[in-house]
Structure 1
Amino acid sequence: MFKLKLPFPPSVNTYWRHVGNRVLVSKKGRQYQATVSSMLHRKKLKTLEGDLIVDVRLIPPDRRRRDVDNSMKALLDAMQFGGVYLDDSQIVRLTIEKHQPEPADPRAEVVVQNIPAPMGKQGFRSCLRCDEAFVSTGPGNRICESCTFLNALLPDAMPIERGQKFHNGEPMQ
């Protein structure tokens, strides 16, 4: 399993360029690939083989509207170019989250791991709360024991019935 902190990827809108009747990776795209590749080569990561799970958190530089899928092509291609995996066709599960902008530190936080168990079977999974790997009892178990314990300490939330309206936390009649 790899946890990577990479630069925020360029949009697919600026990733490709048409030159005559050919479509090429733009200068901005090549620079991004080179930056990511040099970061990954310094880490001396072993190339992963087999089916993979990739979890991505995008922290953009500003509040402009962005489609999360527009950033994925550059990011996944750069990780392949940097040797994280042989081909991005190995990815069988991809999750993407877009967080609040951080102008001082825009980035893509990526977790890449082999599939620990066949889909729908018990095995290792990543906790949805803390991102740590844990032994899961099946596809419905996605939170580790320590996070389940922490969730149990939280006060019980009042269930909201659909159609019921509230004012200052009290049900309206």
Structure 2
Amino acid sequence: MFKLNLPFPPSVNTYWRHVGNRVLVSKKGRQYQAAVSSLLRRKRVKTLDGDLIVDIRLIPPDRRRRDVDNSLKALLDAMQFGGAYEDDSQIVRLTVEKFAPEPNADRAEVVVQRVPAPIGQAGFRTCLRCDEAFQSDGPGNRICLPCQQINAMFSCKVEDMRGKKRHNGEVIIEREEDSI
């Protein structure tokens, strides 16, 4: 498993160029591939084999509208070009999240890991709450035990508040004489 902070990928609209009857990777696409490849070499990332899970968090440079699927091709191809994995067909599960833009923080945070067990069977999973790997007992278990305990503590408080009268989000405490 490895985690990377990569530059924000170019859109697929600028990734390809048509030259005559051929389709080539554009200059911008080749520059992105070189940047990702260089970063993978500096981090000494070893090529992963077998089925893979890839989690991507996109943090765009500005508020322009972007489709997350337009960023995937350049990102996944650049990681393959850089040697993170043999072929992007190894990816069996891919999750992508787009976050609000941050000043000077345009990047793609990528986590690549081997599939620890066949899909649908027990094995290691990544917790949906804290993003840490944990031993799962099946496909329905996607939250680690510490996070389950935290959820249980807060759900008790939520259960106590259900059905109560509220004003501006605050629970109205009724006096016993008012309820008679």
User: Normalising by structure 2, what TM-score?
Assistant: 0.86
The structure whose residues are more often helix, as a share, is 2
Alignment of 1:160-171 (within 5 A): 168-169=168-169
Identify the residue that residue 28 of structure 2 maps to in structure 1: 28
SS at match of 2:37: helix
CA distance in structure 2 between the partners assigned to 1:167 and 1:153 by the alignment:
24
Offset at 1:151? 1.9
Deviations 1:12-31 (A, max 9, x none): 00000011111000000000
Matched, 1:50 2:50: yes
C-alpha distance in 2 between matches for 1:11 and 1:117: 33
Residues 2-151 of structure 1 mapped to structure 2, 5 A cutoff: 2-151=2-151
Task: Report the residue type matching 2:158 in the other structure.
Answer: D
Asked which structure has the greater CA Rg, the reply is 2
Q: Following the alignment from structure 2 to structure 1, what is the Cα–Cα distance between the partners of residues 17 and 153?
A: 53
Superposed CA RMSD: 1.8
Structure 1 unmatched ranges of 5 or more: 161-165
Question: Which structure 2 segments of 5+ residues have no match?
Answer: 171-180
What is the one-letter code of the residue matched to 2:22?
R
Corresponding letter in the other structure for 1:122: A
After the TM superposition, list the runs of 4 or more consecutive aligned residues in structure 1 that deviate by more than 6 angstroms: 157-160
Identity, % of aligned pairs?
77
* TM-score, scaled to structure 1: 0.90
- 1:156 paired residue number: 158
